[in-house]
Every structure is written in C-alpha cells, then in structure tokens.
Amino acid sequence: DFQMTQSPATLSASVGDTVTITCRTSQSIRNWLAWYQQKPGKAPQLLIYDASSLQSGVPSRFTGSGSGTEFTLTISSLQPDDFTTYYCQSYNTSPTYTFGQGTKLEIK
Amino acid sequence: QVQLVESGGGVVQPGRSLRLSCAASGFTFSSYAMHWVRQAPGKGLEWVASMSYEGSDNDHAASVKGRFTISRDNSKNTLFLQLNSLGPEDTAVYFCAKGTTRFGNFAEDCFDSWGQGALVTVSS
C-alpha cells in the first residue's frame, strides 16, 4: 500500500528563520507532489505543485524540491503570517490522492 | 474570480443520507476536474472523491467507496456529493475544490481553489 509520511508534526521557529518540512513516500511518485498551507478555520491554499513549481501569487520565500520518494518545503525569512499548518499531497498515485499528516509551524 | 460555495451540510443520524452541493462561478466549470476533500474536527485533510471535467470518469477514496457518490451538472455549474449510510467517522467539514489544469486528467491534478466548507455532523 502507498504510504506518505510528513515530518515533523510540529515545528517551532522564530520570525526570520528558515525551516524545512519533509514528505517521504513509500514508492516513487516522480514529481507528483503539491504543498498546501491551511490557516485555522479556513480552506487550504495551494503553494507548490509538481514538487517545485510556485503557484501564482505565492511569495518566493516558499520553495519546493525533491523527486521520487523524498520532497521538501522550505520557507525562508519566516513572516508572522506563515505560522500555521502545512500539508503535502501526492497525485496520480494509488489511491489517487493522499495528503500528509500535516505540520504545525509554531512561533518559538 | 473563482468562487465555490458548498451547501447541504447539517446534523444527520447514523445510517441516514445527505447530499452536498457546490455552486461554482468565475470560471468555465465544464473545463475543470472537481474534487471533494474532508477534514474531521482537529484532524488532517482526507481526499474523498474526484470527477473529470466532462463527468464521464470519477474515483472515490476506499473509506467512502460504495457509500458516497460524486456527480456534476455542467449545465448548472454545480458539483454534488451524495453521502449514504453515514457513520460517526464521516463527521467532518467537506470542501469542494477546483482542479488546476484546464481539460486535465482528474487524477493528475492539484487543487487551486477551495470552497469555505460544509460541516456534516453524524450523531444520534
């Protein structure tokens, strides 16, 4: 069965820091991976698609990388608005779509 | 401007049914795959179902297959999710989402616009 593991579950950082969130998959998904940001009580927002392509309107401090089975989301120069929850998502897999468990980014 | 508005949520007893709707505007609805994603209270995101832009193909998560059915009416710019045999584990906010790629494969998609969500509570 296809498995996706997102880590860490919680991440503490300060404004201005650079942080990295990782998603690992149990089998290669090439570059079929997206990253979303979700603020409390709101719908998710697409940040990155195809592992490294920045969605229109998303600040360039968000960077996606990786292929195959290991992917990272890097957020540089953290802003106060960035402290929320992030999810990775695979597509074109079996099952068709899988979300990671989520990473809550907290202010240290 | 893309707008997706879900409706039809509410409190329902276990074993009963519910139909969610998602009214779309601001884009050519019939050109994009559409999706349903749910989020149980305090939990992460779970993909539920997806449908191709023309409505001829679809897929459902294993957890809902045989109980939930996705459909769409392109003449009315509306996406639906029929929820049958509901259980407490189906309690969640249900989001509809628009696929990214015009005339794209519904299984090779990202979700670039989302509705505000409809809360479904299954309780006796």
Q: Name every chain A residue with its beta carbon within 8 A of the beta carbon of B61.
A: 95
Question: What's the mean pLDDT in A74-88?
Answer: 98
Write the DSSP string, chain B: --EEEEE--EEE-TT--EEEEEEEESS-GGGS-EEEEEE-TTS-EEEEEEE-TTSS-EEE-TTTBTTEEEEEETTTTEEEEEE-S--GGG-EEEEEEEESSTT--TTS--EEEE---EEEEE--
Sign of CA dihedral B93, B113, B3, B104: negative
Q: What pLDDT score does B51 carry?
A: 97
Give Cα separations from B71 to A28, A91, B113 (angstroms): 31, 20, 18
Q: What pLDDT score does A94 carry?
A: 82
The partner residues of B95 in beta bridges, in order of sequence, read: B37
Q: Of A45, A92, A99, which has the smallest distance from its Cβ to B46's Cβ? A: A99
pLDDT by residue (tens digit) across A33-52? Answer: 999 999 999 999 999 999 99
Chain B nearest C-alpha distance from A42 (Å): 7
| Residues of B engaging A, defined by a Cβ cutoff of 8 Å | 35, 37, 44-47, 50, 59, 61-62, 95, 97, 100, 105, 107-112, 114-117
Q: Name every chain A residue with its beta carbon within 8 A of the beta carbon of B109.
A: 91
Q: What pLDDT score does A1 carry?
A: 87
Q: What pLDDT score does B23 carry?
A: 98
CB contact under 8 A, B115 and A43: yes
Burial B61-95 (b: 16+ CB within 10 A, else e): beebeeebbbebeeeebbbbbebeebeeebbbbbb
Q: What pLDDT score does A81 carry?
A: 96
Q: Are A5 and A97 in contact (CB under 8 A)?
A: no
Query: Can you give the pLDDT of all 124 residues of chain B as single tens digits?
Result: 999 999 999 999 999 999 999 999 999 999 999 999 999 999 999 999 999 999 999 999 999 999 999 999 999 999 999 999 999 999 999 999 999 999 999 999 999 999 999 999 999 9
Q: What pLDDT score does A92 carry?
A: 84
Report how many Cβ contacts below 8 Å link chain A to chain B: 61
Residue B52, both tokens: 């191709």
Res A93 pLDDT > 90: no
